Structure 1
């Protein structure tokens, strides 16, 4: 029997030496079992940042994604709750209906009248009508307005009223402008000469506009009163809601913008014709060749005249042409400035497209522009004006053809 030899380092006589196992192959085998982890480690090792910074970036990204998901969920929940509330409010409570009549289902309450209506609130106007048969005179009183629609950005308007009769429409009157108010008190009266036979065929039109110096005036609303339905045994005075303006009657002839400046010390009146827009087409091709004629009248007699260049084939001409007249301070009180737009025709006669006049006895926007010029000497004052028909202006301003001779002039 062979003898057992113990290791000199062993403390037990029966301890034997076991063979050493190589674990390198085992480690290699385990690493091949998880290739995804190795791929992630390789990618992280290639990023030139510390490992803690990479983990922080991943955490922040995950937190942002989570917050976005929560916001989307909250928004969807709010929409669902809103729809449920709307459906709940739309339910009709039939418990209080006694079943004896269906009026409760179809007849609205007084407070609910107009609910859901598409009619736009424009305000109301207090006016009066009176007719003097002996003098054939119709008097229209514009008292006040209340709750007008705001047309400006500040939630207000600059209202004024335009009054005329149709179908004649021989005269158009305008009240003064009230600044920054929705409840103006006009208290103005206007008279029209109209016969009894024409009275029952006429209609009084009262239109409220929002004044704008550098743009077209916006209409707020209007009233149309057929005079055949009025009881003329007493003065009529009533409040009435403004309605949407009618589009069938008034023909739009376009607008013109010009500036005025008067220098009393130099006796110079300067007119600058700037531009026009929305002119009426006069040619077969749907266009026009417009030019502007400027006429100065003294004591309603034609005095001086100028005209701009012709702009070919346009309804929105731009001129920027200046004209200067010698007008003394004494004459400026008796002067009328007539501005008309014409369509140039090379073969036939030129056609009038629109006309206005300014002066101390003008009305409406024309009078305001003239008064602003006189109250601001040496400063140009620009303003847009709506063109009127030549017949309407000619009937209001009857000009004589020639000015008196130099020896007969009153100046």
Structure 2
């Protein structure tokens, strides 16, 4: 390397001269050997040009690329995990199949297919037990020819509503006559209702041995069909009548041979105590029984008031031709004082109109303080909500059932003998 040195003109130092400084400058030359790949350079140039065309800063572009790569990675991980789970399930299924096949080789394959195993019977029984348990009592008084059916309580009923609960009530009747149907009150939002109600049926000793007591537990719904939770059917000929029967039983599913369906009717009630006005609005009916040869009917509704078990006032709707699902929306207003409302029964009956012959009864129900079950609840809701209409669907019963329970007298006494 070349060096530049500065030295004095004379070899002898001059004491008066300033000190001499020596400066050494070194120059280093660095040679770098770089080999550039033309293909890589072309690709890099292409991406640089592409990035330059995107109207975003470089950091934003890099962030988007990083997020996309992370998303793709997560998707790949989920797919791998799903494939692994499928593989494990297949292995488990193979193991269980192998176990079943090994247990099935017992030389009795044909018998196993024809006759259910004991485990199958137990499985079906557990299904029925899910409907709940029911406590009832039976007592027969031979001297009075009275059968007393006690509806005590239920436990662990099947939930029928979305909230995991039910609104249970019990319907009781005796087959095959079924001259009377009784209902308990409705219990709201419970699977363990305590009813403690008794119903008395007039039945002779000879008829008792050929009869069946039916106790059905329903879930109450105001604006739709009441769903059955379970039922008990007791053959009364198998009962020991020497003492009172009281026992728990598991509720069974509804029998295939259900009672005759006479249809349903929807109407609203409204009572204004200050004005003494009772308004009944017949809204509609559905699934009515066909009464004519063509499979249809001409239904109309009769609205009747009975005061002190005597026929009092009545009105009727228009006739709907050739239909089993009539729509009326007809309103009727009656003058009923606050003193009379406690002694009044409202009778709703549906009739099939015949031009040439006598009109046929299609179904009937009654409401009031003498009613029971859903009819009594509807009446109580009307009284507890004055000046407000309360609508509800009701299942129609036969005219014989209602008449035997209500026992109306034919004529109302003269005005001078009225108790009001």
| TM-score normalised by length of structure 2 | 0.78
Post-superposition Cα deviations, 1:240-263, rounded to whole Å, max 9, x if no partner, equal 110111131301111112121222
Query: What does 1:70-219 align with in structure 2 at a 5 Å threshold?
Result: 70-88=77-95, 92=99, 113-114=122-123, 119=128, 121-219=130-228
**Corresponding residue number in structure 1 for 2:72:** 65
Rounded Cα–Cα distance in structure 2 between residues aligned with 1:52 and 1:370: 75
Moved more, 198-207 or 248-257: 248-257
Residue 384 of structure 1 pairs with residue 419 of structure 2:
no
Larger-Rg structure: 2
Aligned 8 A contact 2:262 2:289 in 1 = yes
User: Residues 370 and 129 of structure 1: is their aligned pair in 2 closer, same or farther, counting only changes over 3 Å?
Assistant: same
Question: Equivalent residue of 1:330, what SS?
Answer: coil
- Please give the alpha-carbon distance, in whole angstroms, between the structure 2 residues aligned to 1:42 and 1:286: 83
Residue among 285, 301, 311 paired with 1:302:
311
Measure the CA separation in 1 of the matches of 2:367 and 2:314.
15
Show structure 2 runs of 5+ residues with no match. Answer: 1-37, 107-111
Contact 2:266 2:394 in 1 (8 A): yes
1:394 correspondence with 2:366? no
- Residues 71-129 of structure 1: per-residue CA shift (max 9 Å, x gap): 1221121122234345546665999xxx9xxxxx99868xx943896546100101111
Question: How far 1:268 sits from its partner (Å)?
Answer: 1.3
Q: Does structure 1 residue 236 correspond to structure 2 residue 245?
A: yes
Task: For structure 1, list consecutive stretches of 5 or more residues without a partner in the other structure.
Answer: 1-29, 100-104
The aligned residue for residue 20 of structure 2 is none
Cα separation, partners in 2 of 1:65 and 1:285, compared to 1, 3 Å: farther
Structure-1 separation of matches of 2:124 and 2:299: 49
SS of 1:114's equivalent in the other structure is helix
Q: 1:257 aligns with which of 259, 262, 266?
A: 266
Partners of 1:196 and 1:408 in 2: how far apart?
A: 42
- Count the aligned residue pairs: 375
1:290 offset after TM fit, Å? Answer: 2.2
Paired residue secondary structure (2:76):
helix
1:144 to 1:394, Cα distance in 2 relative to 1, 3 A: same
User: Equivalent residue of 1:374, what SS?
Assistant: helix
CA–CA separation in structure 1 for the residues paired with 2:377 and 2:59: 78
Q: Which residue in the other structure is 2:361 paired with?
A: 352
Separation of aligned partners in 2, 1:188 and 1:338: 24
The alignment status of 1:363 with 2:369, answered yes or no, reads: no
TM-score by structure 1 length?
0.80
Distance 1:171 1:115 in 2: 33
Kept in 1, the 8 Å contact 2:129–2:251? The answer is: no
